[in-house]
């Protein structure tokens, strides 16, 4: 090979070796916010008595869901110090400067926020969020805000870390041959490889989130819903208040409680589509739980595929929030008038005369009946039962035997009487 | 020399004397309080403050979780007398400095900033608020290292700690506190004088409370020293080396960008662009 060709080949190889797939380095704190906010103990108690903290745990922040989001992407208007409260307000529906890894577009929660705003929880706060208005939100807002369900948690929870490390190690060696450098691993690797350990939240995590409010009877008792007939807002009934309890008695709830993930979680039925934030009232036509949509909802993801078959139309009529399944003794029961219409109550009314007759009879027998001990036989015989199950001789034989035994006793006593 | 610093008899006697001294002798602060004569003007001001005062219940159990992870407030076994009335995070009003001041209160005693009598030279040392040594003077961290020098294992441990940017405080909860004649100036809540004041306050009416408040605050300065007073190289309030600071720590304290940024504020209501922080 001529020397100039060899040199050209070497130069070409050198250039190619430089072209490893790499990403531009991010700077998670381009505005220098951590110069102050990474200090521990930047706390104070505000006028209302709420403990406030301006300290951000740097290590936690970088490992959390928003770890790659610079502070100013959320706290947009902060420019001077002391910070004006209104300048720090967060709007979760804004786009941030972080690129969505697959398409390179600015990342945003806009679509999720839109779905959430159209849902039953849509009156909750999605903007104007500051550390200082948590107390106001707690007092004023009945619906959960974005931050109520989604604090800045670790991207990979501590419990899942060993599993993640295992997956990461493997894929680091596999992908690392092309994708070199920590930047790629940090920016994309972690994001992609996170998927290998499953979705971030499992069904029980979803239920736990819903139960934060829905298992709180007192909180639920304060909920008001618009009455479609009158158009007025009214307090919800026991069926709504006890929804979490009634769900827990179903097979779905019980499967998940024992960590069998075949059970359906709350949002599997109430918000199965899109971003899973669109919980709607059953009465609304678009609701996944609307009578007309129930078959499709039950048949989703291979759960109850037969639910859509016309012959199985009664399947979707199964009540998954049947409050008759909940023990009567609970803090909501005294207010529960609807329970009088229950099938259980109707059966009780029908059986009441028989219960009274039998109970009364038993009581009278106990008070005034014969106290003598005797062998009791069933009225309709049942000799085979007596013999095989109890191991006693049948009625006829027992009577004869008793009669035989009695005779000699009575004759001897007669003799004794005569002797005297 | 004995390897164990704590078990040396002379050190033990000194520690013991320090331990019992507050119970037997009056602190300089206490003396100042008792000698103070309150003017009518001060008394009226104090009465106004007592009448205006509203108790604050700290709310730390909101069901609305803070978005960013938070660490619980540290507590100490011993608490200063000031905390009988003042909140554990006492700086509330000044929007600009409150968080930074509260941060400093984690390692600097209240009296260090607010008790600065004129014509009296005070000495500043580490005082334990927590642990088995709570209430005792603590040797600075570097002194502890010198004493433990003979133990290679301990030395290695300390080197490892320094790699992780070991804190300046010799133990968690310790605070730089003022001393006069080798005696700490501050009082802890359980001190006899502190207890006496607490009982008097409980049984007092508004006028009497105003008098107690005025007397207790008379030796104190409402405003603490400026940042520079501790963070500058010359005429600094503390001898950082004597307090155990490493050369790197001294440099970090004396060349602090936040202090330089705060130095730009000229008026109380000034707002300054954050990018000046980096200039």
Q: Mark whether A120 and A166 lie in a shared domain.
A: no
Do the domain assignments include residue A394?
no
Q: What is the pLDDT of residue B136?
A: 92
Task: Report which DSSP code applies to A91.
Answer: -
The answer as to whether A18 is a domain residue is no
Cβ–Cβ gap B58/A49 under 8 Å: yes
Nearest CA among A84, A82, A32 for reference residue A56: A32
Residue A14 falls within a domain, yes or no? Answer: no
Do residues A36 and A65 both lie within one domain?
yes
Cβ proximity of A194 and A156 under 8 Å: yes
- Which chain B residue's Cα is nearest to A134? B64
Nearest CA distance, B275 vs chain A (angstrom):
8
Query: Which chain B residue shows the shortest CA-CA distance from A212?
Result: B63
**Which of B68, B91, B266, B275 best tests the A interface by mutation, with the highest count of A CBs <10 A?**
B68
Q: Which residues of A touch B58 (CB under 8 A)?
A: 45, 49, 51
How far does the CA of residue B228 sit from the closest CA of chain A (Å)?
A: 17
Span of A321-330, B139-148, B153-162 with lowest mean pLDDT: B153-162
Q: Please tell me if residue B23 touches chain A, with a CB cutoff of 8 Å.
A: no
- Contact list in A for residue B274 (CB cut-off 8 A) is 31-32, 78-81
Question: Same structural domain for residues A150 and A249?
Answer: no
pLDDT digits (tens, 9 = 90+) for A262-296: 999 999 999 999 999 999 999 999 999 999 999 99
Based on the domain organization, do A144 and A262 belong to the same domain?
Answer: no
HSE, CB side, 13 Å, CA atoms: give it for residue B272.
18
Would you state the pLDDT for residue B3?
Answer: 43
Give the DSSP H/E element, type plus range, for residue A4: helix A3-18
Tokens found for residue A268: 């599997």
**Nearest beta carbon to residue B96 from set A42, A61, A82:** A82
Same domain, A245 and A218: yes
The reply to whether A418 falls in a domain is no
Contact A51 B73 (CB under 8 A): yes
Averaging pLDDT over each range in A68-82, A89-103, B94-108, B224-238, which range is the top one? B94-108
**A234 in contact with chain B, both atoms CB, cutoff 8 A:** no
Q: Which chain B residue has its CA at the smallest distance from A41's CA?
A: B103
pLDDT of A317 above 70: yes
Gap from B95 CA to chain A (nearest CA, Å): 7
In a domain, A91, yes or no: yes
Of B69, B87, B274, the CB nearest to A45: B87
- Sign of the dihedral through C-alpha B151, B153, B156, B160: negative
Chains A, B: CB contacts under 8 A, how many?
114
The pLDDT of residue A57: 93
* Alpha helices (H) in B8-151, listed in sequence order: 9-24, 28-35, 40-52, 98-104, 110-114, 141-147
Q: Does B71 touch chain A (CB under 8 A)?
A: yes
Instruction: Give B173→chain A minimum CA distance, Å.
Output: 12
For testing contact with chain A, the best of B56, B70, B95, B101 (most A CBs within 10 A): B70
Spatial distance between the Cα atoms of A349 and A347, rounded to a whole number of angstroms:
5
Residue from A53, A152, A214, A216 to probe the interface with B (highest B Cβ count within 10 Å): A53
Q: Can you tell me the ipTM of this complex?
A: 0.86
- Structure token pair of residue A146: 């974005």
Task: Give domain status of residue A396, yes or no.
Answer: no
Residues A101 and A214 reside in one and the same domain:
no
Whether B65 has its CB under 8 Å from any CB of chain A: the answer is: yes
Contact B100 A42 (CB under 8 A): yes
Q: What percent of chain A has pLDDT over 70?
A: 75
Contact residues, chain A, for B278 at CB < 8 Å? 32, 35
Query: Looking at the structure, do residues A237 and A216 belong to the same domain, yes or no?
Result: yes
pLDDT at A117: 97
Q: Do A217 and A298 sit in the same domain of this protein? A: yes
**Per-residue pLDDT, A181:** 64
pLDDT tens-digit readout, B225-269: 999 999 998 888 999 999 999 999 999 999 999 999 999 999 888
How far the first Cα of chain A sits from its last, in Å, is 149
- The answer to whether residue A235 is domain-embedded is yes
pLDDT of residue A229: 86
Based on the fold, state whether residues A248 and A289 are members of the same structural domain: yes
Listed residues A199, A228, A256: the one ending a domain = A199
Is A131 in contact with B65 (Cβ distance < 8 A)? no
Are residues A51 and B65, on separate chains, in Cβ contact within 8 Å? no
Which of A118, A138, A154 is a domain's end point? A154
Q: Check CB contact under 8 Å for A152 and B56.
A: no
What tens digit of pLDDT does each residue of B172-187 get?
999 999 999 999 999 9
Whether A176 and A245 map to the same domain: the answer is: no
B257 near A CB under 8 A:
yes
Q: Is residue A352, in this structure, part of any structural domain at all? A: no
- The pLDDT value recorded for residue B148 is 60
Whether A5 shows a pLDDT value over 90: the answer reads no
Q: Tell me which chain A residue has its CA closest to the CA of residue B264.
A: A81
CA distance B205 to chain A (A): 26
The predicted pLDDT at position B203 comes to 96
Q: Looking at the complex, does the CB of residue A152 fall below 8 Å from at least one CB of chain B?
A: yes
pLDDT in tens, A299-309: 997 889 999 99
Sorting pLDDT into bands at 50, 70 and 90, what band is A159? confident
Highest mean pLDDT: which range of A18-32, A57-71, B72-86 = B72-86
Domain total of chain A:
3
Looking at the structure, tell me whether residues A274 and A321 fall in a common domain.
yes
pLDDT (0 to 100) of residue A392: 76
| Mean of pLDDT over chain B | 86
Pick from B71, B91, B258: CB nearest A57: B71
- Confidence band of A23 (pLDDT split at 50, 70, 90): very low
pLDDT number for residue A64: 87
Contact call for residues A335 and A353 (beta carbons, < 8 A): no
Q: Is A162 on the interface with B (CB under 8 A)?
A: no
> From the list A39, A45, A148, which residue is nearest B56 (CB)?
A45
Helix (H, G, I), strand (E, B) or coil at B11: helix
What does the pLDDT read at residue A165?
76
Shortest CA gap B26–chain A (Å): 33
Quick check: A15 pLDDT over 60? no
Nearest 5°: CA angle at A103, between A102 and A106? 110
Residues A107 and A176 in one domain: no
By percentage, how much of chain B surpasses pLDDT 90? 68
Nearest CA in chain A to B105: A41
- Chain B touched by A57 (CB under 8 Å): yes
* DSSP structure string for A113-163: HHHHHTSTTTTS--SSB-GGGHHHHHHH-SS--HHHH----BSS-GGGHHH
Is B271 an 8 Å CB contact of chain A? yes
How far is residue A179 from each of residues A184, A188, A273, B98, B162, measured CA to CA in Å?
7, 10, 34, 47, 36
Answer yes or no: do B273 and A44 touch at CB < 8 A: no
Last-in-domain residue among A278, A310, A341? A341
- What confidence score (pLDDT) does residue A393 get? 76
Give the alpha-carbon dihedral of B126, B127, B131, B134, to 10 degrees. Answer: 160
Q: Is A140 on the interface with B (CB under 8 A)?
A: no
Q: Which residue has the higher pLDDT, B101 or A172?
A: B101
Q: List chain B residues with CB under 8 Å of A88.
A: none
Residue of A nearest to B265 (CA): A81
What are the beta bridge partners of residue B253? none
CA angle B245, B246, B249 (to 5 degrees): 75
Distances (CA, A) of B139 to A24, A55, A364, B152: 49, 29, 89, 20
> Residue A168 is part of which domain span?
156-199
């Amino acid at each position: 090979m001529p020397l100039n060709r060899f040199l050209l080949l070497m130069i070409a190889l050198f250039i190619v070796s430089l072209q490893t797939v790499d990403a531009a380095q991010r700077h998670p704190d381009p505005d220098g916010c951590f110069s102050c906010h990474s200090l521990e103990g930047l706390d104070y108690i505000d006028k209302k008595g709420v403990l406030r903290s301006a300290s951000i745990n740097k290590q936690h922040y970088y490992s959390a869901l928003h770890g790659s989001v610079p502070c100013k992407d959320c706290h947009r208007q902060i420019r001077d110090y002391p910070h004006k409260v209104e300048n720090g307000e967060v709007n979760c529906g804004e786009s941030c400067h972080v690129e969505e890894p697959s398409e390179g577009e600015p990342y945003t929660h806009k679509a999720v926020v839109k779905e959430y705003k159209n849902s039953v929880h849509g009156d909750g706060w999605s903007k104007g969020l500051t550390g200082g208005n948590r107390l106001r939100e707690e007092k004023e807002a009945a619906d959960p805000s974005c931050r109520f369900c989604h604090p800045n948690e670790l991207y990979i929870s501590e419990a899942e870390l060993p599993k993640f490390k295992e997956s990461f190690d493997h894929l680091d060696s596999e992908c690392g041959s092309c994708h070199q450098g920590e930047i790629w691993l940090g920016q994309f690797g972690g994001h992609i490889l996170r998927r290998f350990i499953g979705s971030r939240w499992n069904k029980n995590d979803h239920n736990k989130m819903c139960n934060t409010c829905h298992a709180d009877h007192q909180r639920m008792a304060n909920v008001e819903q618009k009455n479609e007939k009158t158009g007025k807002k009214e307090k919800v009934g026991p069926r709504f208040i006890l929804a979490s309890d009634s769900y827990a008695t179903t097979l779905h709830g019980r499967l998940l409680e024992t960590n069998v993930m075949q059970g359906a979680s709350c949002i599997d039925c109430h918000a199965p589509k899109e971003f899973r934030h669109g919980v709607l009232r059953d009465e609304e036509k678009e609701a996944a739980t609307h009578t007309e949509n129930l078959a499709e909802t039950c048949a989703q993801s291979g759960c109850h595929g037969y639910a859509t078959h016309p012959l199985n139309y009664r399947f979707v009529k199964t009540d998954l929030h049947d409050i008759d399944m909940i023990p009567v003794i609970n803090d909501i029961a005294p207010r529960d008038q609807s329970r009088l219409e229950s099938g259980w109550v109707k059966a009780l009314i029908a059986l009441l005369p028989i219960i009274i007759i039998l109970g009364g009879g038993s009581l009278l027998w106990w008070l005034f009946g014969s106290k003598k001990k005797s062998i009791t036989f069933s009225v309709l015989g049942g000799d085979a039962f007596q013999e095989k199950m109890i191991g006693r001789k049948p009625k006829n034989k027992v009577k004869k035997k008793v009669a035989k035994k009695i005779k000699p006793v009575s004759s001897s006593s007669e003799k004794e009487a005569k002797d005297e | 020399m004995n390897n164990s610093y704590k078990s040396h008899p002379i050190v033990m006697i000194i520690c013991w004397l320090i331990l019992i001294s507050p119970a037997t002798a009056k602190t300089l602060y206490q003396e100042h309080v008792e000698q103070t004569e309150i003017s009518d003007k001060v008394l009226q001001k104090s009465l106004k403050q007592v009448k205006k005062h509203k108790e604050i219940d700290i709310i730390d159990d909101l069901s609305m979780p803070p978005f960013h992870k938070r660490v619980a407030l540290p507590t100490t076994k011993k608490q200063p007398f000031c905390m009988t009335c003042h909140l554990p995070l006492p700086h509330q009003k000044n929007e600009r400095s409150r968080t930074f001041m509260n941060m400093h209160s984690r390692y600097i005693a209240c009296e260090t900033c607010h008790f600065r009598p004129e014509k009296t030279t005070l000495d500043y040392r580490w005082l334990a608020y927590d642990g088995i040594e709570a209430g005792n003077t603590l040797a600075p961290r570097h002194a502890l290292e010198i004493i433990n020098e003979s133990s290679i294992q301990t030395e290695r441990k300390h080197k490892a700690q320094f790699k992780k940017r070991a804190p300046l405080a010799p133990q968690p909860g310790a605070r730089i506190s003022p001393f006069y004649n080798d005696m700490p100036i501050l009082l802890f809540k359980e001190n006899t004088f502190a207890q006496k004041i607490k009982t008097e306050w409980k049984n007092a009416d508004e006028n009497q409370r105003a008098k107690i408040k005025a007397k207790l605050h008379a030796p104190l300065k409402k405003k603490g020293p400026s940042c520079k007073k501790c963070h500058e190289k010359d005429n600094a309030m503390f001898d950082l080396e004597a307090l155990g600071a490493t050369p790197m720590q001294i440099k970090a304290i004396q060349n602090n960008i936040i202090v330089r940024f705060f130095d730009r504020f000229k008026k109380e209501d000034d707002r300054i662009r954050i990018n000046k922080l980096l200039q």
